[in-house]
Structures are given as C-alpha cells and as structure tokens.
Amino acid sequence: MSHFYFHNQRIYYTEFGAGAPLLLLHGNTASSNLFAEIAQRYRKDFQVVLIDFLGHGKSDRLDEFPADLWFHQAEQVIAFLREKQYPKANIIGSSGGALVAVNIGLEAPELVNKVIADSFEGEKPIIALTENITEDREASKLDAETRMFYSSMHGSDWEQVVDNDTRAMIRHQKEIGGFFHKDLGSFQPDILLTGSLEDEFASALAPDYFEKVYGELLAKIGHGKMHLFDTGGHPALLTNQDGFYQLSLEFLTGKC
C-alpha cells in the first residue's frame, strides 16, 4: 500500500494505468473502494489515482472530522498533487467528493486540468437534509445492505467513520454554511456538472433541483456544461456507469 503524509498523518492512495493523471474523489461515508469497478475502465486512457481522505478507508483515523470537511479534504489533495508533481490533473468528484473537486479548482487552479463534479448539493448544504441527518444515519446503520456498504468502505470500525461524518455535517451547517471559500467567478478549469433526475436526494426537494442549482453555479463560474441523466439514483457516476464513463471520456479528452 502507498501512503503520503499530511500533517503527520498517513493518507492511503493507489495509482495505476498510463496517461494523464485522473483523480477519483469519493464522497461522505465512502472511500476509494467506491470506484473499484469504474476505475478499471479509466486505466486504459489515464493514470488513475484513488485516495482515501483522512478518517476514511485505509487512511489514518481521526478522533473528529473538521467542520469545514470538504475544504480540509481539498487541502489534502492539493498537498498530494504538489508532492507528486504530476502534470495538471483531471479530477472526478462524486457527491461530497464533487465539493472537494470544486474547492481544489478554486484554491489551486494551476494543478488542475478539468473537473467533473457529480451529484452534489450546490454552494450550500440542503437544510432539510441536514436537519434529519442524525435520524437518517441511525436508521441506515440498522439496514443490512447499508451496513455492508459501510463495512466494504472502511472495515470493522465503519460506525466511527459514519458518526464522525454526521457530526461534521451538522457542525458545518451551524458554524460555516458554505462549501467554498472563494468566489465561483474565480474558478478557472474546464468543468462539467453531472447528476441524475431521479437522484433520491435531489428529486425529493424538486424535480428540477439539479437543473436550477447547476444552472446558477455555471452562471457564476462563467463557463462549463451540465449533463443530467434521465434515470438512475445517487450518485449518477455509479447508477449511470456506462453513460457516465462515455460522457466523461469525451469531456476529459476534449471530444465533448
């Protein structure tokens, strides 16, 4: 296993394939295991890099996640990219990983080529979801399929990871409230926003949630595209894997 150090703590990563670097960034309560299948498809065209954020997967555990979780995770990736000295990297972030990807593009655009941000909330947390997060997470821990997912992501101490994430999300809404530190108008890399119209989180709020929120984001950024899949759940990257892979390949290679 490969690791790099961030603030004296070990972060797990693995890399394989050949070509321009492509980082796949996981979301909340997940790890790089989330990309086990689709990552193998990208290895034909890219040097694929998978990372477990601190406190997740095979990385060192944290007693507590920082409230500004997605910015802190972006700092981890920025440190990693600078240490590895890759040429400009492509980044695909899904769900919470999409927030990390946008933060990286805002904070260190010189390190980034193109960004795909998949199935995320927008600029701020969805209050209706955060208000119920404790109850929803407790219910999820009783569901056999979800427990299996958590275990496959983190191992036997998965419950600590899930609880840390829940508390961080609540603190973020109360103490911070916004996902990004810089104005979106300063975002420089090419960007593609993706999602599914049947995403169980977004569609519960409004049938056109992604269309509206992504449209507002792109207007502030001043460039970029969006693609919404008609079917599939959360995240689109996994529930529309064939279509997402083809779309992402065209975008990242400049054929979109």
Written as tens digits, the pLDDT of the chain (256 aa) is 699 999 999 999 999 999 999 999 999 999 999 999 999 999 999 999 999 999 999 999 999 999 999 999 999 999 999 999 998 999 999 999 999 999 999 999 999 999 999 999 999 998 878 888 999 999 999 999 999 999 999 999 999 999 999 999 999 999 999 999 999 999 999 999 999 999 988 877 788 999 999 999 999 999 999 999 999 999 999 999 999 999 999 999 986 5
Locate all alpha helices (DSSP H) within 86-157, ordered by sequence.
96-107, 127-131, 133-140, 144-154
CA distances to 116, 123, 136, 160, 225 from 195, in Å: 11, 15, 22, 29, 12
How long, in residues, is the chain? 256
* Residue 219 burial class via C-beta count within 10 angstroms: exposed 0-12, middle 13-18, buried 19 and up: exposed
Q: What is the pLDDT of residue 103?
A: 98
Instruction: Please state at what angle helix 144-154 crosses helix 158-175, rounded to 10 degrees.
Output: 90
Sheet of strand 112-118: strand arrangement: 2-6, 9-17, 46-51, 20-25, 89-94, 112-118, 190-196, 225-229
Instruction: Supply the CATH number for residue 205's domain.
Output: 3.40.50.1820
How far is residue 59's CA from residue 47's CA, in Å, rounded to a whole number? 21
Split into its structural domains, the chain has a count of 1
Beta-sheet pairing, 9-17 with 46-51: antiparallel
Q: What is the pLDDT of residue 255?
A: 66
How far is residue 11's CA from residue 154's CA, in Å, rounded to a whole number? 13
How far is residue 210's CA from residue 203's CA, in Å, rounded to a whole number? 9
Here the tokens at position 54 are: 């601190």
Q: Is pTM beyond 0.85 here?
A: yes
Quote the domain boundaries for residue 171: 2-252
Of 246, 137, 131, 132, give the one whose Cα is nearest residue 192.
246
CA distances to 1, 3, 23, 98, 155 from 10, in Å: 11, 6, 18, 22, 17
Helix (H) or strand (E) holding 3: strand 2-6
Please count the other Cβ atoms lying within 10 Å of the Cβ belonging to residue 222: 11
